[in-house]
Structure 1
């Protein structure tokens, strides 16, 4: 029987366990989207994970969603990431960068630009800005001729990620951000080759993946998806068919892995597991939902055929999460108020389990 603590071969990487640290925004970057020494310490503390996936990293300024997030579109940003990846590797870890283009989930106060998206349809809810929460603005619909440039931005950021020492990249195709917006049936109202039919709605995702594979190789390229998810107001019709067709196209590339969120019924997700010929990373709960991934949920999905299991919030307050899971130690709770406040409090202030004498 497969366990969380079995080794796993992921492309050119030998993972010591099947625990993945899921990408989580922590908004601790310095001005200019630079990674910091505190970020190096944070990720190094969690290097016992089989694989770390970084917080979302914008591939361009217009692709930035939230203030305080890091980028991979300037030489200075590349240089700032090298101490982070070095710290993870020195501590025995492996780390992929999550490349995240926010699309319509952004604000001019954050980037200086009107956000862009498949169509001129605003996201639902308030977005974060340097001046506090603001209603999501109506994005500018991308011209057909512009779309390949935004697909290539993932690949360009991936090249910079490898230059910065990352072991690979995960394209953020989930949670209502740009790739997810193109997959959507209500954020994407286009009538050209990128909208309408399932074939057209998956086109942007496939082009972004193809460009990234061409840039850094298939074994360094992965994607995260949230089938049927409703983040930021996106809706998707024909979810099983949409994702079956998308996975059929993506399977041609022999990617490092597919990362799925449990945003659809389990039978739909099991069908996608059966359809996907490669490595599956499963996040067994809805991100930021009421449930947290625990050992029971992990074992359940390993039994259903997942290869690796991603844990999100449990890693915030438990840098030694792998050992706590291995030895059935209690998990420390995280302070929600410090998730995004900046600074080292609630970031570097959690320690490994302290055994009493």
Structure 2
């Protein structure tokens, strides 16, 4: 296996990764009561600390952000304390870990919080909740401009809480059809104010969150995940291309730790993007780019060697193989992922 994958990689003057593999954020719905991380979760992350970077499972920034059962939070003192156990165990093994900050927007549900979901616009997502098929999605409330400012402030609080919990940085989840992504696509953003209709306006909320988090914890400890090609919870629209063209150019003016593609399968192509999402981002983004979406050790090696991306995020194989890095380095066979593995922490 190429030594380049296992060379250290400098994100910036603050953070250097031991290798170019990242453990992708993997929602497991295993938090304890009150959405507090458990000791078992800490052990789970610690076993994978030899990844260059661990990105935590998506972590909700406030009560109305929840759309899945037992997803951890970062908005109470108890949650902060629970995460401290995670970061301490990861750091004890020499690892680095970012927290992924999450608000699911219109795919939240009042079942969890008693609160109506919020979104850019009052556009309901059709279908039922994952893992809770007896619950259908609800009509969200369109955020007012004042409420948008409150959400931005909640992202900042969550980022500060993550740092207080010992994380090395935060990744803002702006992808996969969740709240920030809902502002970036015409299917879900029907606004006529300063947050809608034009590329600049539709990018505004995302950039406000990014800038506010940077101001709070530093650009060197702030990353962002985006989904230019809508495929989850959102229908694609060719006009989205202009929004992401604008957004990425703006991101080039901010010295993020990295930009992360959000997609389950990067073999998917989008006509309005001219092909795969990863190619689209790489051609435009000037900073560190983390790719994802079905990568294997072999395709990661190829992508790094061809300069298609800088970091390779690996998902399910990390669940199946806590010793993924050792196995790949020694060219040992990997255990195949099975969905039953999600029901346990290993």
| Band of TM-score, shorter chain | over 0.9
- How many angstroms apart in 1 are the aligned matches of 2:112 and 2:209? 24
Residues 1:333 and 2:336 are matched in the alignment: yes
Q: Match of 2:253, SS?
A: helix
Indicate the residue corresponding to 1:195 in structure 2. Answer: 196
Indicate the residue corresponding to 1:126 in structure 2. Answer: 128
Q: Could you list the per-position Cα deviations for residues 168-192 of structure 1 after superposition, in whole angstroms to 9, with x for gaps in the alignment?
A: 0000111000011011111111111
Runs ≥4 in structure 1, deviation > 6 angstroms? none
Indicate the residue corresponding to 2:283 in structure 1. Answer: 274
Superposed, which structure 2 residues align to 1:278-293 within 5 Å? Answer: 278-283=287-292, 285=293, 292-293=294-295
Indicate the residue corresponding to 2:161 in structure 1. Answer: 160
Deviates more, 1:92-101 or 1:299-308: 299-308
- Residue 184 of structure 1 contacts residue 237 of structure 1 at CA under 8 Å; is this kept in 2? no
- The Cα shift of 1:150 comes to 1.0
Say if 1:239 and 1:189 are closer, same or farther in 2 by CA, change over 3 A.
closer
Find the partner of 2:315 among 290, 293, 312.
Answer: 312
- How many angstroms apart in 2 are the aligned matches of 1:293 and 1:124? 30
- Provide the aligned length of Structure 1 versus Structure 2: 335
Q: Match of 1:224, SS?
A: strand
- How many angstroms apart in 2 are the aligned matches of 1:133 and 1:54? 28
- The Cα shift of 1:144 comes to 2.1
TM-score (normalised: structure 2) = 0.92
TM-score (normalised: structure 1) = 0.89
- How many angstroms apart in 1 are the aligned matches of 2:236 and 2:156? 27
- How many angstroms apart in 2 are the aligned matches of 1:269 and 1:240? 14
Say if 1:155 and 1:89 are closer, same or farther in 2 by CA, change over 3 A.
same
Deviates more, 1:152-161 or 1:225-234: 225-234
- The Cα shift of 1:305 comes to 3.3
Indicate the residue corresponding to 1:84 in structure 2. Answer: 86
- Residue 261 of structure 2 contacts residue 277 of structure 2 at CA under 8 Å; is this kept in 1? no
* Root mean square deviation, CA, Å: 1.7
Superposed, which structure 2 residues align to 1:44-59 within 5 Å? Answer: 44-59=46-61
Q: Could you list the per-position Cα deviations for residues 6-60 of structure 1 after superposition, in whole angstroms to 9, with x for gaps in the alignment?
A: 1101221221110000001011101111011001000000001000000000000
Residues 1:103 and 2:105 are matched in the alignment: yes
- Residue 124 of structure 1 contacts residue 233 of structure 1 at CA under 8 Å; is this kept in 2? no
Indicate the residue corresponding to 2:116 in structure 1. Answer: 114
Indicate the residue corresponding to 1:64 in structure 2. Answer: 66
Residues 1:40 and 2:27 are matched in the alignment: no
Q: Match of 2:166, SS?
A: coil
Indicate the residue corresponding to 1:171 in structure 2. Answer: 172
- Residue 183 of structure 1 contacts residue 236 of structure 1 at CA under 8 Å; is this kept in 2? no
